[in-house]
Amino acid sequence: MKKQNNPKRILIANRGEIAARIARAINELGHTAVGVWTDNEIHASHLEFCNEWVHLEGNTNSSTYLSIDNIIRVAKNNNIDAIHPGYGFLSENAKFVERLEKEKIIFIGPNSDAIKKMGDKATSKQIAMKAGIPVIPGSSDAVPNKSSAIKMATEIGYPVLLKAVAGGGGRGMRVCENSSDIEKNFDVVVRESESAFGYGGLLVEKYITNPRHIEVQILADKKGNTYHFFERECSIQRRHQKIIEEAPSPFIGEREDLRQAVCNTAVKVAKAVGYDSAGTVEFVMAEDGSFFFLEMNTRIQVEHPITEEITGIDLIVCMIQAAFGEPLGIPEQKWITRTGHAIECRICAEDPITMLPSPGTITGFETSFPQGTRFDHCIYSGLKVTPDFDPMIGKLVTKGIVRPVAIRKMKAALNGLLIEGLKTNIPLHKVIIDNESFINGKYSTNFISKEKPQDLVDIGIYVTEVYQKIAGIEAVKQGI
Amino acid sequence: MRYYFIDTDNEYIVDLNKCKIHSPEMVEYTFNHIDKNKVFGPQKVFVRQMAGKYYTSLDSISWKRVAKQDMPTEMLNVNRVMKMYRGFKPSGLSGSNDGELITNMPGKVVKILVNSGDHVSKGDPVVILEAMKMENEIKSPTDGIVKTIYVKEGDALEQGVLMIDLE
């Protein structure tokens, strides 16, 4: 293997499947992957792919993965050249990036200015408006209190969405149908956003009926080259968090003009903030195909694998190269092409009916997948899923030449994914994949509330299946 | 060998009655199960270990893979995780009293919505518990009067902790 000319030491300030994914990209490039483990996760399976293992002291997220001081101290003690933040935690924290800029440690992500501008929903909306990009009607700044929220809502018309200024990942959001809903939900959302983001400011905006969530993957380098990697549709959501994503969007389908319009708008947004890494521009698309800028996520996203599958380009590798100012190897936009269709199901430790997190210990884990499957995960038999971290434990991705093939493969892949010991949403995914609206690609972000797939999950206890499980357990015990 | 599966309001019993070892890789078990004092079965199940993986069959012709598990203490069935006991059932085990509010997942108390002495109806929210960054309303399982509150706002609770006693 050709030795990396200028090997760098890269700290991965994250855990779970994304830490493992990043470590493998670092290894591929010939750099050194430095992984961390904390006191509340001693069996950190992502370390398997890291070259060096470093202890990040502390047993809460706020003292470890969210502690700027702790991470910078560990980085300096270990002669770290660059830090990859993954998603969540400090990935979109401008203060962290500013500190790194001061400490001369490279942040594998965008510049702090872009994060700051896009991290604040009100500012990002203003920037988009200035660049001539359509946005959803609503308050451009945090509303001071309940009554002004109600006043704003009356102006733009119900239903409205109450959401955290600093929010993301679906936390700190509620749909309100009338003023009493606002009365009821305002304090809850303030509290949620205070505890999740440390800031309780809320926005009020128009809620679009049957909206589709369309997002465009962006990659930019430090020389001002900005590329898009086509769109993803992430309309299947519960509690405003995505659970199934696909690329390309079945709603846009064959409408290449619409696809080009959305993707080019996304590039315009990224250019407007001087973006220089991997990022995602999110849009809400209405039933008539009109679309509005929602926000830009200034990080690599959970669902990036489906874009990698249809374009064949490793986004994490490109992100690292962009951070070091290296060329991305992409001469022009037209070189980025797509083939086929990819679907991702987020596998979460949660009740398949209530969709609420359900921690526990995995007692058995096996896979047998069809061709065209990718499973990014951190699962092993014995893994304890604790309430400390997000309940997502893996991402199951299938790719087919056309959408029905990807769906067929997903069905087989879900059947081949065996997880025992704790509740997962695999049974729910199986129902969704079989749903007629899903199969026809005619669904909106209201899919779960409209189709209620959770009601179709078979919760029966089948005696022969129980016998078979016990037989397996008994055979292992007997040493068969 | 008897297996007990217990969750909050149900108990299932499966008996493993016969074990016939065919070869070092294959074994045949005979099961019964007991439901409301009636015995069902018997059912033969074959298990075959191949290349470290375990396969089961009802007829030794068509095989289905099962995940290898090393004597787990819990058994999953779609949306239920039942305690599993092999051999005997531990004494003093029953589901929670109707009037006891017990955490079913670890979490942090965000807000207590009742005071001791309050009258609550079944389904009334009594506590807001934050788990995995989500706020969950814990509802009263019954009509009654709040007797004792054992927790306070800000407490981090394990699973199975008694929070409130109702009368």
Q: Are residues A144 and A36 in the same domain?
A: no
- Determine, yes or no, domain membership for A113: no
The average confidence (pLDDT) of chain A is 94
Residues 6+ apart with CB under 8 A from A7: A30, A31, A32
The CATH number that applies at residue A186 is: 3.30.1490.20
The CATH number that applies at residue A318 is: 3.30.470.20
* Coil vs helix vs strand at B83: strand
Mean pLDDT over B87-115 rounds to: 71
Task: Kindly list the residues from chain A whose CB atom is less than 8 angstroms away from the CB atom of residue B5.
Answer: 466
Task: Kindly list the residues from chain B whose CB atom is less than 8 angstroms away from the CB atom of residue A381.
Answer: 67-70
- Determine, yes or no, domain membership for A176: yes
- Determine, yes or no, domain membership for A465: no
Distance CA B66, CA B56 (A): 7
pLDDT for position A362:
97
Indicate yes or no: CB of B71 within 8 angstroms of CB of A477: yes
pLDDT at A11 over 60: yes
Secondary structure tally for chain A: helices H, strands E: 15, 20
Indicate yes or no: CB of B79 within 8 angstroms of CB of A418: no
Parallel/antiparallel/unpaired status of strands A212-220 and A226-238? antiparallel
pLDDT for position B133:
66
The CATH number that applies at residue A88 is: 3.40.50.20
Q: Which listed residue (A21, A24, A238, A299) is catalytic? A: A299
Q: Are residues A34 and A165 in the same domain?
A: no
Least confident of A15-29, A41-55, A408-422, B101-115: B101-115
A139-172 per-residue burial string, b: 16 or more CB within 10 A, e: under 16: beebbeebeebbebbeeeeeebbbbbbbbbbebb
Q: Are residues A200 and A220 in the same domain?
A: no
Which structural domain, as residue segments, surrounds residue A163? 137-206
Give me the sign of the Cα torsion angle A466, A467, A468, A473.
positive
Q: pLDDT tens-digit profile of A340-349?
A: 999 999 999 9
pLDDT at A469 over 90: yes
Q: Are residues A83 and A182 in the same domain?
A: no
Interface of A with B in 182-221 (CB under 8 A): 188, 191-192, 195-196
CB A173 within 8 A of CB A166: no
Q: Are residues A188 and A289 in the same domain?
A: no
- Determine, yes or no, domain membership for A129: no
Indicate yes or no: CB of A475 within 8 angstroms of CB of B54: yes
Is A408 catalytic? The answer is: no
- A385 to chain B: closest CA residue: B132
Binned at pLDDT 50, 70 and 90, residue A169 comes out as low
Mean pLDDT over A241-250 rounds to: 97
Mean pLDDT over A63-92 rounds to: 97
- Determine, yes or no, domain membership for A447: yes
Q: pLDDT tens-digit profile of B30-57?
A: 999 988 888 998 999 999 999 999 999 9
Q: Are residues A150 and A45 in the same domain?
A: no
Parallel/antiparallel/unpaired status of strands A32-38 and A52-56? parallel
pLDDT for position B163:
86
pLDDT at A417 over 90: yes
**Who among B16, B64, B107 is closest to A387 (CB)?**
B107
Q: Are residues A93 and A233 in the same domain?
A: no
Task: Tell me which of A121 and A29 has the higher pLDDT.
Answer: A29
The residues spanned by each domain of chain B are 2-86, 100-166
- Cis status of the peptide bond prior to A159, with omega within 30 of 0: yes
Cα A271 from chain centroid?
A: 22
Å between A9 CA and nearest CA of chain B: 32
The residue of B28, B56, B83 whose CB has the most chain A CBs within 10 angstroms, and thus the best one to mutate to test that interface, is B56
Note whether A427 contacts B: Cβ–Cβ < 8 A.
yes
Burial class (CB in 10 A: 0-12, 13-18, 19+), B92: exposed
Give the architecture-level CATH label for domain B100-166.
Beta Barrel (2.40)
pLDDT for position A198:
78
- Determine, yes or no, domain membership for A132: no
Q: Are residues A287 and A249 in the same domain?
A: yes
* Coil vs helix vs strand at B27: strand
Residue owning tokens 């959401």? A163
pLDDT at A436 over 90: yes
Interface of B with A in 110-149 (CB under 8 A): 110, 130-136
pLDDT at B96 over 50: no
Domain tally, chain A: 3
Note whether B153 contacts A: Cβ–Cβ < 8 A.
no
Indicate yes or no: CB of B66 within 8 angstroms of CB of A459: no
Least confident of A27-41, A80-94, A197-211, A284-298: A197-211
Encoded tokens for A354: 């209530």
- Determine, yes or no, domain membership for A191: yes
Residue A407 CA: distances (Å) to CA of A245, A340, A418, A430, A473: 12, 12, 19, 10, 32
- Determine, yes or no, domain membership for A226: yes
pLDDT at B95 over 60: no
The residue of B74, B134, B136 whose CB has the most chain A CBs within 10 angstroms, and thus the best one to mutate to test that interface, is B134
Binned at pLDDT 50, 70 and 90, residue A3 comes out as low
Distance CA A344, CA A234 (A): 10
Distance CA A355, CA A266 (A): 32
Residue owning tokens 């070869």? B23
Q: pLDDT tens-digit profile of A208-234?
A: 888 999 999 999 999 999 999 999 999
**Strand arrangement of the beta sheet that strand B162-166 belongs to:** B100-102, B162-166, B144-149, B119-120
Indicate yes or no: CB of B72 within 8 angstroms of CB of A351: no
Q: pLDDT tens-digit profile of A23-71?
A: 999 999 999 999 999 999 999 999 999 999 999 999 899 999 999 999 9
